[in-house]
Every structure is written in structure tokens, then in C-alpha cells.
Structure 1
Amino acid sequence: MSARLDAPPAASVEPVRRSPPGLVAARVAAMCLVELQKLRHDRAELLTRAVQPALWLLIFGQVFTGLRAIPTGNVPYLDFLAPGILAQSALFIAIFYGIQIIWERDAGVLAKLLVTPTPRVALVTGKAFAAGVRALVQALVVLVLAALLGVGLTTNPVNMLAMGAVVVLGSAFFCCLSITIAGLVLSRDRLMGIGQAITMPLFFASNALYPVDLMPGWLKAVDYANPLGYEVDALRGLLIGTPAHLALDFGVLVVAAGVMIGIAAALLGRLAR
């Protein structure tokens, strides 16, 4: 009887605390805001990153439009190319985002973030959406250049908002892919090498430069598994009005980004060891 009286009641056991969704969302927004503050000191980098898509549109797009070597139906090749180059520029920004994570680890910032109450998923999601907003700034540069070259872009505000969502989702996926690779290789040099090795294959194994109908069977299979292909398909449908599978494109991008955020969050602690 005395043992029973001395035992603490079951109600005194403290339940496991879980962060409510609203708190997680607030922390995601805070992390995203911190990342976006860096844009004020990064304007020169954004301008230099705009050089490559400008060259694709000015040289590659203009030349192949005149040659008519790639059949795109009633759509001028430059119009067909512009959404693909927009997606490419977002990819190039996001795919090297893991280098920043490694830099934060070396500077001791990552270890301090991981001991805060902020969930790891919130940390990764904040960085993913910050990469998406960086990509939106880059996309604005590409859109302005495309408009100056005479590309027939939509002026529908709903389509433009949907375009922004597509760019953010695609960038979030590739940003978290980069963080995942960083969590596996743990080295800045290795991440740079892998990033450079997969960027161009991802680009060329998509419908960014040519229609899917022109691809051989094996390349079509790769394109169906490549999130960049769904991003380009959605951007073309929204920006220049070509037939697109918008529901499928959005669904694939949302699922792919969500899965990759979870994987990147699971590997984040490995970076800080």
C-alpha cells in the first residue's frame, strides 16, 4: 500500500509537447525573412546570374528561331524557349543552395540553429522558400528580357501569380535536393562537383529546349521522372498559352517538394556532427 501511495499519479507525467502548425508556420516565415535579408547584399550576384539566361535567349533563341531547326508548331521558337530558360535560371540558383548550409556549418551557425526550439522541417522549409523568392527575382529579369525580345507573354495576373508559385515549388525541390546532397557528402568541394555534374543533365533531359515528341523513348522516360520537365510544362501553359497539364504539373511539384523537404530535414543533423 505504501509503495502505491508513494508512486506519482499518472496525471503528473508531462505530455510530449508538439509545436502547433501556426507556430511552425511562423518560424518558417521568420527563417525565410532572415534569408531574404541577404538579398540586399547580393544584388551584384543576381545580376551576374542573369548573364547566362540572357545569352541563351539572345544567341541560342535568336539563332534557332531563324533556322527553324526545332519544330514547335505555331509557336515561335523564342517564345517556346523563354519558359525553359526561366526554369533553368531558377534551377541554377537553387541547386547550389547546399553550399550555404555547409558554410553555416563551418561558421557554427547551423549548430546554434539546431539547438533552438525551431523544428528542422521549419528550418529547411524556410531556406527552400527563400531560394524560391531568390529565383522569382531572377525570373523577373528573364521575363523583362523576353518581353524586350518580343516574346508573347501573358498579362493575366492570375497566370503570373500561378507562375510564381510554380517557380517557388520547383526551386524548393532543387534547393532541398542540394541540402540533401550536402548532408550526404559533407564537403563543399564535393557538393560543387556533384551540382555541376547533375545540373546540365537535368536541363537537357527536360522539355526546356525541345518538345517531348522529339525525344527518343529513353529520354522521354527520364523527362517523366524529372521535376524540371513538369515545371517547364506549367510555365509554358501559364506564360504563352500552350497546352499543358497544369493539375498534374502542380501535383507533382507539390509532392516532390514536400518529400524532398522531409529528406533534407532528416539529414540536416548529420551536417552538424
Structure 2
Amino acid sequence: MSVPLAALPAASADPGAVRRLLSRVGTMCLVELQKLRRDRAELLTRAIQPALWLLIFGETFTRLRAIPTGSTPYLDFLAPGILAQSALFIAIFYGIQIIWERDAGVLGKLLVTPTPRAALVTGKAFAAGVRALAQAVIVLVLAAILGVGLTVNPLKLAGAALAVVLGSAFFCCLSIVIAGLVLSRERLMGIGQAITMPLFFGSNALYPVDLMPDWLRVLSHVNPLSYEVDALRGLLIGTANHVWVDFGVLAGSAAIAIAVASALLGRLVR
């Protein structure tokens, strides 16, 4: 969790302050993850959509050979993109939970505790990442069953897990930022649904960047999802990638998003 600390003004050179901050972030993350134990059925139902993408879209376009992906089978090319998509769909609506906590009075109580707002946001962001990882395992198992040539290198698998967590952290905080601006569940749902598919189709999840028109290529280069997918492809199936650039963009995006979400958090309880 060292990356987001760059965005936390409370983190000083004092080792004790850093330890307290990390402890509070960890506590908030554990609180969030406790909810996962009651949402096991939700994880399975959320896995249906990525499973359909792999089974129907992936298998069909692999047979059609309509999208050129070089020596990489299209299903192999697609699997990391669907993995990133499943994490996106979980994280982008996380702001609804923040609004629910505000309506229940929970958020107001949390904000008057000594815990920094950045620690609250970071805990939720990384909880979203771990929740996304739980679904990612389901997607990876299905991809392996379909014959996708996935790596078994534990270091690369750990790197892929980190990419999913960082990507989910960014989109979770983006959702919290939207919640802090619109202040209502209905508006957040509408905006979330409006931006989810453009984020997905405006990335390299379904097709190589080289096939995109120039305007879409520009959008892809500023879309954090593209960097998450690129990192996952390089780590999981061994395609050419810029993994250090990908992780740099993901970490920087997550840090900025945590800082902005923390600044807007108090607006929800005014």
C-alpha cells in the first residue's frame, strides 16, 4: 500500500505516524472485507457477465478471425480484457455504498473519528480491489478451462493481482468522486452506467489499439483501463507490453483519485 501514501498528506516522515496511518487503512479495509463474507452469492452472479463475454463473444470471434491479433489466439487476447472489465464493473458503483452509509449515518460517525479521510478512502479502495480479485479468480479458472494459455509463474500472477487491485482502486475512487459531486444514488447509477461502456469500449480490452480510429486511440491512451489490460496481457499471456509504464500510470491514477475522493468525502455529509 505504499503507492497511495504519496497522496496522503497525513503521512509524514515520522515512522510512528506512518504506522498509525497504515493501521487505520488496514482496519478500514478489513471492515469492508467483512461484507464480502455475506456477498458470496453476489460474486457468483457478477461473474455471469464476464463468463458470457468469454464463452460467446470470445469463442465466436476466435472462429471468425475477424479481429487480427497476430500469433495470439483471440480468446487469449480477450481474456485479460474481460478480467479487467469484471473488476471495473465491481468498482465503478462503489460510490453507491458511500451514499448508503451517509443515509444510514455511518459516514458521519466515521468522519468525526481521528482516522484521516484519506485512510477511509484508501481502505475502501483496496477492499474494492480484493473484492475484484475474488471475481478475477473465477474468470481465470473459466479462461483456463476454455484453453487460454495463462502463465503459472507465481511472480507474474502476483503482478497481475496487483494490476487488478490498482485498477479497481482507481475506479472505486472515481465512483466516490462522482458520489461526492452528485450526492444521490440515482444520479450516480445513471452516470456510472453512462461511463462504464465507453471506458470499456474505449480501451484495448476487445481489440488492439492499432485497429482504432485516431480519435479513439487518443481516448485509449488516457484511459487507465487500457494500462490495466496491457499489464494483464503481458503478465498473464506474455504479449509485448510496457509493464513498468502500466504500473506507473495505474499507481499514479490511484493516488490522485484517492486524494480527490478524500477531499470530496466531507461534501456528502454537509
TM tier relative to shorter chain: over 0.9
- Aligned-residue Cα RMSD (Å) equals 1.1
TM-aligned CA distance change 1:265 to 1:59, over 3 Å? same
What's 2:7 paired with?
none
Pairing partner for 1:213 from 206, 210, 215:
210
How far apart are residue 19 of structure 1 and its match? 7.8
Instruction: Give 1:1-273 correspondences, 5 Å limit.
Output: 20-273=17-270
Q: Secondary structure at the match of 2:203?
A: coil
Q: Match for 1:129: what amino acid? A: F
**Distance (whole Å) between structure 2 residues aligned to residue 19 and residue 86 of structure 1:** 38
Moved more, 18-27 or 73-82: 18-27
CA distance in 1, matches of 2:95, 2:50: 22
Query: How far apart in 2 are the matches of 1:39 and 1:123?
Result: 17
The TM-score, its normalising length taken from structure 2, stands at 0.94
- Deviation, 1:21, is 1.1
Aligned in 2, Cα 1:153/1:221: closer, same or farther, shift over 3 Å? Answer: same
Amino-acid identity (%): 76
Distance 1:21 1:221 in 2: 39
Instruction: Give the aligned residue type for 2:254.
Output: A
Tell me the equivalent position of 2:4.
none
> Where in structure 2 are there 5+ consecutive unaligned residues?
1-13
Q: Which amino acid aligns with 2:191?
A: I
Between the aligned partners of 1:93 and 1:218, the Cα distance in structure 2 is 28
Per-residue displacement from partner, 1:112-163 (whole Å, max 9, x unpaired)? Answer: 0000000000000000000000000010000000000000000000000000
Measured in 2, the distance between the counterparts of 1:272 and 1:130 equals: 22
Aligned to 1:8: none
Rounded Cα–Cα distance in structure 1 between residues aligned with 2:15 and 2:73: 54
Instruction: Return 5+ residue gaps in structure 1 as ranges.
Output: 1-16
Structure of larger gyration radius:
1
Deviation sequence 1:69-110 (CA, Å, 0-9, x none): 000000000000000000000000000000000000000000
Q: What is the total number of aligned residue pairs between the two structures?
A: 257
TM-score (norm 1): 0.93
